[in-house]
Structure 1
């Protein structure tokens, strides 16, 4: 019995196996049929039967030896870290069903149980296979205590059912179609400025740009009738408006008749305009999301990746603004996300082109520019003087060429050089003032007490805003640059006859999402002329980090809090647009899909208590707004209260992103002391600094097989980025020496 119990069995399982074996040794001769052991396929059962038969015939074969099979651990248990799988620890011992047990089932009952398991009951949380029995007592099932948390998530239950029904290939198409349906349903409501002449709203602005781009020459696009929704977005938006205007004119020219179609609100034009948003969203943003979960979360299971895709596709804030309020923010965000994906696959030039397209579509992409630019510069530093200089020159050529192509119609020989100033002055509207509407940022929150516009001139406010914004993203910039320097590749030895191929990815890549969050939040909180919907820019990296986390982690709690508060912060805008029903429906749907309910948690951490207080304040705000009319002397009291509730949350996330960036850099070795290696590198080899795998709980694991964290079933830094499979280094590229 010592051999049998050797392995991973607990002491409780040992005593239980002793009692069961003793029982079988006493009753096997009377109750077990002679032909039954041949039908047994479980190795443990074979062992017990052999043990019982040997002991019952001890008088004949005293020298018989029991050889117990070596228990084999499940392959999941062989990995160093498996918490990201979203599953509980496996039971150390699962006793088989005894043939004498009352729980033994007949073939007919087994078929019935299988049919129940594959039924839609799983969507409601009922799984007969997990029911406890005499052979499977509750104490041996640690999964049972997590069952309620998993079953709260409608998305998890649906994905589990799709896998059980062998419909894995239909999951992504179903999710994309479901997201399109939800966006179209939101678009059935009103939009920005509907029925509010003379200026209407953003819907009319986008339609008007389609009108003027198809009727006027390029030079007049940024100068025509600026008092009525003059074009103030970069050239790529103008080109997209021109394309949509041409297609719309083919359908009905009256929709875009110059100066005669202003304020048109016909059902046909509304369907066309809503359709353009869905088309470009599906063309750019949705593929970027699918690529993201496959590239950045490649080490995770397909079910977990699809769950992340559900979270990203149905993000309520972006749907409410683009499909409800009416804009094309998903195009800008999609190009930025494509740039991140190409950076992750080592295609930096394609990533630079995509980010240039993002800047060329909306100037709000500048919120990401410090992080993106610093990451590319840090990679050049990481690659060393030779390879880094080559990459720097290529990136400069690609970026400048991309911008020249975007602004080509405003440059010689197509237009005088002074014509390029027209779009530039419209893109950066410094003459509008520090802020217009009540936005959940530093200026509006502190303006309740300080009244910035009264005691400071506009020029001074611009300088102060620029300084605070730079101070806000400086930690992310310094962390990226210093980490790239600390982890840089050692120069190749003189004996090397061939130049090896440098690694495509860098160990500083996990810092990029945190740097994007820090940079964009610093712009949102401190920069000049910010709108409510600008929160979508920092919300993208936060939601990406959220998609790689698990319930209970700090990243998950902060990600859910920021997403919900971002929608809440836009409530004054959504209320003006008449999108109250969509506001409530999308928030409930998204949180229900993810199984998030902060009021249901019993054991709460500090961040969960803070979240509970914030949500309580939001509910009290809506209740007060519904029951109490604002006083005449304080007409903006509710928008101001909204700002005061939302701004501390965004400041908290900004501080957390700085902290996490420093922690991740420290874990990767970027902020540690540079090791003084004495081992001489082999000829023709690249010597890189030790790379460390950082899991979502902040634990670091050294890697000794590649420049980057291994793809051995472990996640790296929140997102689960698969930083390359085990690379097979060819003789041409040389070997990688990690020290």
Structure 2
């Protein structure tokens, strides 16, 4: 039973719990839908199943005071609030829920079935600890296998590199960390990695000094040292990445059910590529990704300065976090634009000061007065090794794939390739940067115009920027552009664009394009690293992790239901992957083409990553349109709800609703107007329509 927002009368609604994420279609898109051009949005028509949604909570219709409205806004990540009642009414009157659709709703992954069972048994409070324990145990099982460079002297591999950094940091002065014996795994990561290596080395040396004896411990592979090294990866993951993922599901998905949040948690913690690299191959990427997640969560709750510090720490741990820098920096600049001149300049100066101070603290041992100014070149030259080639090994990016026809390293010099790759990379992420800045400018201008029209006093912003829904797509565009086009990319670098894509996947329904594309790219990413994993002896882990993850999330590419283009393409790509694996096992490569299988791997994986990059740009445009960042200024201004002279707020259908509390929002979102329009904001910029007892429904097109 729920209250109708219009009359307060109680009526029945369906008690079926659907986790599909849908969003209201902006008014400017209704014309497109009526003209049967809805395919432009990349979203299928609303199915009858999606129309049945959970009941609104009673608090959804309680008028909010200005103070409570500002607090409530911090948990809302969407400026989209439109009422489309007639569209859903027509859809429901012309269609009914079929048995096939009902079966589809039950065709979910093992993770969702298990969480539902735990909740029905009254064990919901034990789900989270069990998830953490299960994933930790599973990760430790992966560590029982081999690792990068095991038994391959003289340089071994990444395992030895990380161990050697612990060795040199505890025995040498800080000034020598980036200059000592560079031919044998010289330190080439930013200072935070060095500090954590020092801490791990100090603890390990207390247990057994022989593990990290200077020079004499090189290549050590005894069982006890292996256990300790593997334990450091698990400890860093547990202390940084797991809390960051928990923070994410509790902020970006806080309006979703606890079952859905727990499924998202499993989806992220069992991401195949990350587990294979960190716990199989041996690295600490979860620390960098976890710190980036913390920064996103801080932005989502309005703590921009803390978010900036967290992102600087991510950059200070691994320079690959620079792939996110254009998106993060643009988001903060866009928020400054939405705040107006005075508040925007104030926030910009605070962010600049915090960023400079954070970097200065990280690099303090190489800065005056502790060291001469020239000392800063030691870590910088190691962090950015432009003396290396355009790419190493076979990596599924543009340069390696096109090198089959165009011998870049023969036709162009290394400095020319650096400039060319930098230029193409900038062009690659430019759409995300320009789109977010333009949206911030438009929304800021709309807010200022609304303030002037209403003659209302300006108030500082409480909560995230209205362009926050653009951030995950901008992160994906920027990081994928770097992976495809930048200089000196490793195959492991695909982990960086996989993070924002998997975040989007974790909040998407199983039948949505985002879910299907996210699952496809995660699987292809693991496939693209197969030559590396095969060399490390991780074939068993590769098969088991991929099978488990797809089973947990409910992804079966060979079980076609809706027969969409994405389904057919996914099935074809998976079929080719399996065929290549079988061929590699049964047929040795010809002597004339010894690298035929890695090359075919690159040629199959690169187009998938390229399409994902284009898709992220397309979604950024659509989301920017939805939040009001595109279109004419007058239309954008109409989305900024401020009380008129008669104390009314504009509703989504062109009418007005009473504004008893006088709530205003300079960021284009009216809390009262949104509630009275029958919509509730959802996570990651999504909103879900609710069905009332009197037959007045709100409709949403699938945002994912």
> Would the alpha carbon gap of residues 458 and 172 (structure 1) be closer, same or farther in structure 2, given more than 3 Å must change?
same
Q: Distance in 1 between matches of 2:194 and 2:649?
A: 46
1:705 counterpart = 2:632: no
Aligned residue in 2 for 1:519:
478
Name which of 165, 170, 181 aligns with 2:126: 170
Residue 88 of structure 1: how far off its partner (Å):
4.0
Aligned residue in 2 for 1:728:
none
Q: Distance in 2 between matches of 1:680 and 1:669?
A: 12
Name which of 449, 465, 479 aligns with 2:421: 465
> Would the alpha carbon gap of residues 714 and 440 (structure 1) be closer, same or farther in structure 2, given more than 3 Å must change?
farther
Cα deviation 1:350-391 (Å, max 9, x = unaligned): 000000000000000000000000000010011000000000
1:206 counterpart = 2:162: yes
SS of the residue 2:134 aligns to: helix
Aligned residue in 2 for 1:316:
272
Q: Distance in 2 between matches of 1:275 and 1:80?
A: 37
SS of the residue 2:593 aligns to: coil
Q: Distance in 2 between matches of 1:318 and 1:542?
A: 13
Q: Distance in 2 between matches of 1:220 and 1:351?
A: 32
Aligned partners of 1:297 and 1:720 also within 8 Å: no
Cα deviation 1:556-613 (Å, max 9, x = unaligned): 1100100000000000000000000000000000001112111111441011111111
Aligned partners of 2:253 and 2:261 also within 8 Å: yes
Q: Distance in 2 between matches of 1:83 and 1:672?
A: 22
Counterparts of residues 208-247 of structure 1 (less than 5 Å): 208-247=164-203
Cα deviation 1:303-360 (Å, max 9, x = unaligned): 1111111111111110000000000000000000000000000000000000000000
Name which of 539, 558, 561 aligns with 2:517: 558
Residue 301 of structure 1: how far off its partner (Å):
1.2
> Would the alpha carbon gap of residues 143 and 217 (structure 1) be closer, same or farther in structure 2, given more than 3 Å must change?
farther
Residue 150 of structure 1: how far off its partner (Å):
2.9
Aligned residue in 2 for 1:656:
615
1:74 counterpart = 2:13: yes
> Would the alpha carbon gap of residues 334 and 709 (structure 1) be closer, same or farther in structure 2, given more than 3 Å must change?
farther
Residue 719 of structure 1: how far off its partner (Å):
6.2
Cα deviation 1:253-303 (Å, max 9, x = unaligned): 000000000000011111111111011111111111111111111121111
SS of the residue 1:222 aligns to: coil
Q: Distance in 2 between matches of 1:375 and 1:604?
A: 37
Aligned partners of 1:80 and 1:714 also within 8 Å: no
Q: Distance in 1 between matches of 2:227 and 2:146?
A: 12
Larger deviation, residues 619-628 vs 493-502 = 493-502
Aligned partners of 1:503 and 1:707 also within 8 Å: no
Name which of 267, 272, 277 aligns with 2:233: 277
Q: Distance in 2 between matches of 1:689 and 1:455?
A: 62
Relative contact order (alpha carbons < 8 A, sep ≥ 6): 1 or 2 greater? 2
Q: Distance in 2 between matches of 1:246 and 1:721?
A: 50
> Would the alpha carbon gap of residues 505 and 196 (structure 1) be closer, same or farther in structure 2, given more than 3 Å must change?
same
Q: Distance in 2 between matches of 1:320 and 1:451?
A: 32
SS of the residue 1:675 aligns to: helix
SS of the residue 1:429 aligns to: coil
Residue 436 of structure 1: how far off its partner (Å):
1.4
Counterparts of residues 39-50 of structure 1 (less than 5 Å): none
Q: Distance in 1 between matches of 2:392 and 2:633?
A: 49
Counterparts of residues 23-34 of structure 1 (less than 5 Å): none
Name which of 327, 331, 346 aligns with 1:390: 346
Q: Distance in 2 between matches of 1:164 and 1:434?
A: 55
Q: Distance in 1 between matches of 2:650 and 2:207?
A: 60
Residue 500 of structure 1: how far off its partner (Å):
2.4
Name which of 366, 373, 378 aligns with 2:334: 378
Counterparts of residues 583-662 of structure 1 (less than 5 Å): 583-662=542-621
SS of the residue 1:433 aligns to: coil
Residue 667 of structure 1: how far off its partner (Å):
1.2
Aligned residue in 1 for 2:387:
431
> Would the alpha carbon gap of residues 256 and 418 (structure 1) be closer, same or farther in structure 2, given more than 3 Å must change?
same
Counterparts of residues 130-209 of structure 1 (less than 5 Å): 142=98, 145-147=101-103, 150-209=106-165
Residue 714 of structure 1: how far off its partner (Å):
4.1
Larger deviation, residues 712-721 vs 231-240 = 712-721
Q: Distance in 1 between matches of 2:490 and 2:673?
A: 42
Q: Distance in 1 between matches of 2:372 and 2:543?
A: 51
Residue 552 of structure 1: how far off its partner (Å):
1.4
Q: Distance in 2 between matches of 1:689 and 1:90?
A: 25
Aligned partners of 1:507 and 1:691 also within 8 Å: no
Residue 413 of structure 1: how far off its partner (Å):
2.0
Name which of 544, 548, 551 aligns with 2:503: 544
1:578 counterpart = 2:525: no
1:418 counterpart = 2:374: yes
Aligned residue in 1 for 2:448:
490
SS of the residue 2:148 aligns to: coil
Residue 504 of structure 1: how far off its partner (Å):
2.1
Q: Distance in 2 between matches of 1:543 and 1:252?
A: 40
Q: Any gaps of 5 or more consecutive residues in structure 1?
A: 1-6, 8-69, 93-138, 693-701, 723-739
- Count how many residue pairs are aligned between Structure 1 and Structure 2: 599
SS of the residue 1:507 aligns to: coil
Residue 484 of structure 1: how far off its partner (Å):
0.1
Instruction: Supply the RMSD in Å over aligned alpha carbons.
Output: 3.4
Q: Distance in 2 between matches of 1:198 and 1:447?
A: 30
Residue 483 of structure 1: how far off its partner (Å):
0.1
Q: Distance in 2 between matches of 1:141 and 1:716?
A: 24
Q: Distance in 1 between matches of 2:536 and 2:649?
A: 55
SS of the residue 1:623 aligns to: helix
Cα deviation 1:660-691 (Å, max 9, x = unaligned): 0001101111111001769997799xx99999
Aligned partners of 2:439 and 2:630 also within 8 Å: yes
Aligned partners of 1:689 and 1:707 also within 8 Å: yes
TM-score (norm 1): 0.76
Residue 506 of structure 1: how far off its partner (Å):
1.6
Aligned partners of 1:371 and 1:512 also within 8 Å: yes
> Would the alpha carbon gap of residues 254 and 629 (structure 1) be closer, same or farther in structure 2, given more than 3 Å must change?
same
SS of the residue 2:537 aligns to: coil
Q: Any gaps of 5 or more consecutive residues in structure 2?
A: 24-45, 54-94, 654-667, 689-704
Aligned partners of 1:79 and 1:713 also within 8 Å: no
Q: Distance in 2 between matches of 1:248 and 1:711?
A: 60
Cα deviation 1:29-58 (Å, max 9, x = unaligned): xxxxxxxxxxxxxxxxxxxxxxxxxxxxxx
Larger deviation, residues 474-483 vs 484-493 = 484-493
Larger deviation, residues 81-90 vs 513-522 = 81-90
Cα deviation 1:423-473 (Å, max 9, x = unaligned): 000000000010111100000000011111111111111111001000000
